[in-house]
């Protein structure tokens, strides 16, 4: 070999950065150990998945690109070699779900219980700001305090500090710009709980996820006695009672499937259109069962979810918040492959009346559909707001007015199908009557300021009380006024635009969805003037 050639090789070798790259690879391997084999084993024994496995299970195979992989707390010896390494307990990056890019941020409970003082820098803030700037959905896998504080921080600082919620302004603005989904995958407290609630869709795992403002140690100290994690903030509380979380599932794998499914209906941001799937169902399908699904006996219930399933593309309905405010059904579905929001009263609960919980649920769902310009289909069987002492104590009217405000502020395409009842202030809120929104009624429909039975008692109270036979007079008045309940009489006065054969519901709604999709595509895109309410 010629000397000049040999010199060139030696020079190239001496210029190589391979040693540094090897050190980087070594540190990345250290980070993959997370909190160490013992803590990871304990985590798995509790029925929870290690954070890096969670990411692999949620995202498309091989799509995850980590950001901040070298972040960690490192102890060096006197020679500058590593003698101790604790990786960041917040893993951030980007990947794809069904081929569509997302930003993801995940807590690692095996390192410092997911507390802020183990995160090393503001990696969480990076995910929030990047999702906003790149206009991409944000997925939060929360496990621990999720960026919240720890008294160990005070000990390390040798002082306390005035609290601030990092990047909270970004978190709030994100709700009006990109889809935000969150999964509580362990005991989640403080800011972590807030991050779960500040989302468009959230999910908990029954038995292994808990959510609370403060965990058992703080609560026990404040109030005395002992309370366990599950008793304080299990999924039975938040998915069924408080509504702080939308869906309750049996496993982390089902939680990841729900996240993927939810995102499949939504655009990546408000600057895009929702993705339309290849239609797999007959747009002209007319189901014979719809002609008799609503009983003639007005006091009998019927399966509203069955109606939804018969009308929407087969198998496309994804329900959100089933156990909270159960008199109102909400979810996402497709009509001829076009994503739509679905809202329906469930006569199996309070005869479909809107209570305080259902009103909160309605407000959030209408805001979701309006924010992302999803056409909304409302199957109406609403006898009004729930009445009674309990309903008044729950502030039903206040929460109901907020729901009506959401309906009247919404500008997304809207279609109501009056299946049976539409009474009172709540029934009137089935759509914004000042808009040219599509509206159909089934022949089973009935409506008014209030149901005839209660209305007779109120309007003819003195006559009924003074009658020799009050019950007989009441029955006579009700029978006489019942003849006015015929929806055809309303149609004759153009009080309802069209009474349809229930079997025509699907073809007509597909016409609506196609028109709505064309309108949305032609509209100016971007955030609405009114932001999404958390």
Picking from 264, 296, 315, the residue at the C-terminal end of a domain is: 264
For residue 224, give its domain range.
17-264
CB 430 within 8 A of CB 382: yes
Residues 321 and 392 in one domain: yes
Residues 297 and 192 in one domain: no
pLDDT digit string, tens, across residues 99-110 = 999 999 999 988
pLDDT digit string, tens, across residues 153-162 = 666 667 776 7
* pLDDT reported for residue 23: 86
Residues 222 and 340 in one domain: no
CB 409 within 8 A of CB 530: yes
* pLDDT reported for residue 366: 97
Residue 53 pLDDT greater than 50, yes or no: yes
pLDDT digit string, tens, across residues 491-518 = 999 999 999 999 999 999 999 999 999 9
Question: Which residues does 355 contact at the CB level (< 8 Å), separation at least 6?
Answer: 325, 327, 385, 386, 391, 394, 396
Is there a domain that residue 450 lies in? no
- Is the pLDDT higher at 179 or at 20? 179
Cα(204)–Cα(188) distance, rounded to whole angstroms?
Answer: 10
* pLDDT reported for residue 387: 93
- H or E element in which residue 12 lies: helix 3-14
pLDDT digit string, tens, across residues 194-250 = 999 999 999 999 999 999 998 888 888 888 888 989 999 999 999 999 999 999 999
Cα(260)–Cα(284) distance, rounded to whole angstroms?
Answer: 29
Cα(315)–Cα(331) distance, rounded to whole angstroms?
Answer: 13
Mean pLDDT of the chain: 89
- Is the pLDDT higher at 16 or at 318? 318
pLDDT band at 56 (very low <50, low <70, confident <90, very high): very high
Is there a domain that residue 486 lies in? no
Residue 421 pLDDT greater than 80, yes or no: yes
Is there a domain that residue 355 lies in? yes
* pLDDT reported for residue 63: 98
CATH code, domain carrying 307: 3.90.226.10
Residue 254 pLDDT greater than 60, yes or no: yes
Helix ranges restricted to H, 116-166: 123-134, 151-157
Burial readout 96-112 (b: 16 or more C-beta within 10 A, e: otherwise):
ebeebebbbbbbbbbbb
* Total number of domains constituting the chain: 2
Residue 482 pLDDT greater than 60, yes or no: yes
pLDDT band at 451 (very low <50, low <70, confident <90, very high): low
- Mean pLDDT, rounded, for 278-307: 96
DSSP 268: S
pLDDT band at 337 (very low <50, low <70, confident <90, very high): very high
Helix ranges restricted to H, 333-486: 356-371, 389-393, 396-409, 424-428, 452-459, 461-466, 470-482
Residues 22 and 143 in one domain: yes
- Is the pLDDT higher at 76 or at 420? 420
Question: Which residues does 149 contact at the CB level (< 8 Å), separation at least 6?
Answer: 115, 116, 117, 163, 190, 191
Residues 216 and 311 in one domain: no
Residues 401 and 508 in one domain: yes
Cα(474)–Cα(293) distance, rounded to whole angstroms?
Answer: 30
Is there a domain that residue 495 lies in? no
DSSP strand pairing (90-97 vs 100-107): antiparallel
Residue 278 pLDDT greater than 80, yes or no: yes
Question: Which residues does 130 contact at the CB level (< 8 Å), separation at least 6?
Answer: 94, 103, 136
- Of 155-159, 365-369, 443-447, the least confident: 155-159
* pLDDT reported for residue 5: 47
Is there a domain that residue 474 lies in? no
Helix ranges restricted to H, 372-412: 389-393, 396-409
- φ, ψ for residue 528, nearest 5 deg: -70, 160
* pLDDT reported for residue 362: 98
């Amino acid at each position: 070999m010629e000397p000049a050639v040999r010199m060139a090789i030696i020079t190239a070798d001496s210029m190589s950065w391979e040693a540094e790259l090897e050190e980087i690879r070594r540190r990345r391997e250290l980070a993959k150990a997370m909190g160490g084999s013992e803590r990871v084993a304990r985590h798995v024994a509790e029925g929870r998945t290690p954070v890096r496995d969670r990411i692999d299970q949620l995202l498309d195979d091989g799509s995850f690109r980590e950001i901040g992989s070298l972040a960690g707390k490192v102890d060096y010896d006197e020679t500058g070699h590593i003698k101790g390494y604790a990786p960041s307990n917040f893993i951030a990056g980007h990947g794809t779900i069904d081929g569509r890019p997302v930003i993801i941020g995940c807590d690692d409970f095996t390192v410092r219980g997911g507390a802020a003082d183990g995160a090393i820098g503001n990696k969480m803030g990076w995910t929030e700001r990047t999702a906003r700037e790149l206009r991409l959905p944000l997925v939060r896998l929360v496990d621990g305090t999720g960026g919240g504080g720890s008294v160990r921080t005070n000990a390390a600082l040798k002082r306390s500090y005035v609290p601030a919620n990092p990047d909270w302004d970004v978190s709030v603005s994100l709700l009006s710009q990109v889809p935000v989904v969150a999964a509580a995958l362990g005991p989640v407290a403080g800011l972590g709980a807030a991050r779960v609630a500040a989302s468009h869709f959230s999910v908990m795992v029954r038995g292994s996820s808990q959510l609370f403002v403060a965990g058992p140690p703080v609560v026990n100290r404040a109030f005395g006695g002992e309370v366990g994690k599950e008793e304080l903030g299990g999924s039975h509380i938040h998915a069924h009672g408080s509504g702080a979380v939308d869906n309750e599932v049996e496993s982390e794998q089902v939680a990841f499937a729900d996240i993927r499914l939810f995102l499949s209906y939504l655009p990546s941001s408000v600057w895009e259109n929702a993705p339309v799937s290849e239609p797999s169902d007959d747009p002209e399908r007319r189901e014979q069962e719809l002609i008799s699904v609503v009983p003639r006996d007005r006091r009998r219930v019927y399966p509203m979810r069955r109606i939804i399933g018969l009308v929407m593309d087969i198998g496309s309905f994804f329900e959100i918040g089933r156990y909270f405010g159960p008199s109102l059904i909400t979810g996402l579905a497709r009509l001829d492959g076009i994503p739509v929001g679905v809202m329906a009263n469930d006569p199996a609960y309070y005869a479909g009346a809107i209570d305080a919980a259902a009103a909160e649920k309605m407000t959030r769902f209408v805001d979701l559909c309006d924010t992302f310009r999803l056409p909304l289909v409302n199957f109406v069987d609403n006898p009004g707001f729930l009445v009674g002492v309990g309903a008044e104590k729950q502030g039903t009217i206040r929460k109901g007015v907020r729901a009506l405000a959401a309906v009247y502020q919404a500008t997304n395409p809207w279609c109501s199908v009056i299946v049976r009842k539409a009474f009172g202030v709540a029934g009137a809120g089935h759509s914004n009557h000042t808009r040219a929104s599509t509206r159909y009624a089934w022949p089973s429909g009935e409506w008014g300021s209030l149901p005839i039975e209660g209305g007779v008692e109120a309007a003819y109270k003195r006559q009924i009380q003074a009658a020799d036979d009050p019950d007989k007079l009441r029955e006579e008045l009700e029978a006489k006024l019942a003849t006015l309940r015929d929806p055809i009489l309303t149609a004759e006065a153009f009080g309802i635009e069209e009474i349809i054969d229930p079997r025509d519901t699907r073809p007509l709604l597909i016409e609506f969805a196609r028109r709505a999709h064309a309108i949305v595509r032609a509209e100016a895109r971007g955030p609405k003037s009114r932001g999404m309410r958390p």
